[in-house]
Amino acid sequence: MSIGIDKIGLATAKYRLDMADLALARDTDPNKYSVGLMLDSLSIAPITEDIVTLGAAAAEQILTEADRARIDMVIVATESSIDQSKAAAVFIHGLLGIQPFARSLEMKEACYSATAALNYAKLHVASKPDSKVLVIASDIAKYGIGSSGEPTQGSGALAMLVTSQPRILAFNDDNVAQTRDVMDFWRPNYSSTPFVQGMFSTKQYLDCLKTTWAEFQKRNQAQLQDFAAFCFHIPYPKLANKGLNKLLDKSLSEEKVEELKANFQASISYSRQIGNIYTGSLYLGFLSLLENSHSLKAGQKIAFFSYGSGAVAEIFSGQLVAGFEKMLDSNRQAQLDQRQKLTVPAYEKLFFEEAHFDDQGNADFDNYDTHTFALERIDHHQRLYKRKEESYDN
Ligand code: HMG
């Protein structure tokens, strides 16, 4: 039975910060960001847009009533949790009106966990071929003003519907994972921004790629030649580019190298404009590849490199399904272009705003532009979400 990704939705914040403006404010050569990191802008989420609103908006784009009646598992992969106990998936299950007899949970391992979620979804569908699993990767990446990671922030969510007979990508059964206990990037409970050993983290990323790829090749008798494209976790596109260059070897024909490089450029188009969205970054790269490549064809194989600091890495592959082009959104770039541009002071105010609670645990927020859903207020420590046209006061 073929199992894989049937639909993909994307939501990113409605505000953007241009890297050229950030460079000016941080007294940095703009080429460092545009060429050195390969980033043009970042999506900036206001306080009323969180992993729940982004995740629900990404899923809302792709779900029909029939899907809502058949989904029996909702998994949210994230490292920007809004609650230590209640899973974001439970909020999203409610907001989307998914039938009640479903399992909803949250998964965590830095940027990696959406890959584990897809694998769990695959196992679930293998045992219940009629069911559909909604996998959402949703994060807000915040490093702090003036930090080395600041230009690699971002926010967004990918929603993927995993089914039998998928219409975009059929998973191959070839996953190879690696775990190594390192402190390259971590965020203790008491800190709202991560601690990072930046250069060490890039070395871990590249070494995990090299060693996991070697093991993947050995176990699956695979060659780079077999793939039309290699999608990477994209903390910033330049690092993924280094990853691709590490894999290219002399045995490849010039045409194959050209194809892999052209498809790589297609895969980083959205990340260049959105930034790092942690768990969703790899799948944002995949969506960007699908919607921007000029050469992809049904039947071709795509490789995926998932990396989450800490660290867990995984390589797996899938095969493009006939008709995959019909499942894409030709209007995506226009939506990204519609994001409202922020000045640097406006970005600093918006992105780092925190809730101010009264002594009953209530907090209200200014009215910001969000996707389909918004965090309306916090009422006695309970987060209350609304569809944009609705209000709890109505
Ligand atoms: P930095 O200060 O930007 O480092 O920090 P840099 O000074 O080495 O500059 C970066 C690149 O810009 C270099 O290119 C420079 O040469 C170039 P490279 O040598 O790498 O090819 N450059 C210029 N290019 C053109 N014109 C110029 C110019 N100046 C410099 N004028 C660092 C980089 C990664 C440390 C920082 O961005 C950071 O801390 N980021 C956050 C951590 C991160 O993203 N790590 C990636 C691996 S870990 C990961 O992927 C997991 C993660 O997603 C989290 C998770 O799993 O949850 C982060």
| Residue 232 Cβ < 6 Å to ligand 1 | no
Going by CA atoms, what residue is nearest to atom 42 of ligand 1? 198
Q: How far is the CA of 200 from the centre of ligand 1 (A)?
A: 11
> 171-322 — its CATH code?
3.40.47.10
pLDDT of residue 97: 97
pLDDT of residue 388: 85
pLDDT band at 394 (very low <50, low <70, confident <90, very high): very low
- Whether 112 shows a pLDDT value over 60: the answer reads yes
The pTM for the full model equals: 0.97
pLDDT of residue 389: 75
Segments of the chain assigned to CATH 3.40.47.10: 3-169+330-387, 171-322
pLDDT tens per residue, range 174-224: 999 999 999 999 999 999 999 999 999 999 999 999 999 999 999 999 999
To the query of whether residue 208 is one of the catalytic residues in this protein, the response is no
Q: Which CA distances in Å does 103 have to 73, 130, 313?
A: 5, 15, 26
CATH fourth-level superfamily of 3-169+330-387: Thiolase/Chalcone synthase (3.40.47.10)
| Residue 31 Cβ < 6 Å to ligand 1 | yes
Q: DSSP characters for 243-254?
A: HHHHH--TTS-H
pLDDT tens per residue, range 31-76: 999 999 999 999 999 999 999 999 999 999 999 999 999 999 999 9
Element (H, E) at 154: strand 154-164
pLDDT band at 385 (very low <50, low <70, confident <90, very high): very high
Q: What percent of the chain has pLDDT over 70?
A: 99
pLDDT tens per residue, range 71-86: 999 999 999 999 999 9
pLDDT tens per residue, range 136-176: 999 999 999 999 999 999 999 999 999 999 999 999 999 99
Q: How far is the CA of 215 from the centre of ligand 1 (A)?
A: 27
Catalytic residue among 60, 79, 109, 259, which? 79
Q: How far is the CA of 96 from the centre of ligand 1 (A)?
A: 38
pLDDT of residue 249: 87
| Residue 33 Cβ < 6 Å to ligand 1 | no
pLDDT of residue 250: 86
Let me know the angle formed at the C-alpha of 317 by 315 and 319, rounded to the nearest 5 degrees: 170
To the query of whether residue 233 is one of the catalytic residues in this protein, the response is yes
Element (H, E) at 103: strand 103-107
Q: Phi and psi of 366, rounded to 5°?
A: -65, 165
Using a 10 angstrom Cβ sphere, with 0-12 exposed, 13-18 middle and 19 or more buried, the burial of residue 331 is exposed
pLDDT of residue 296: 98
* Calpha distance 225→243 (Å, rounded): 16
pLDDT tens per residue, range 126-136: 999 999 999 99
pLDDT tens per residue, range 313-362: 999 999 999 999 999 999 999 999 999 999 999 999 999 999 999 999 99
To the query of whether residue 254 is one of the catalytic residues in this protein, the response is no
Q: How far is the CA of 122 from the centre of ligand 1 (A)?
A: 34
Residue 218 has a CB neighbour count (10 Å cut-off) of: 10
pLDDT of residue 208: 98
Q: Is 242 annotated as ligand-binding? A: yes
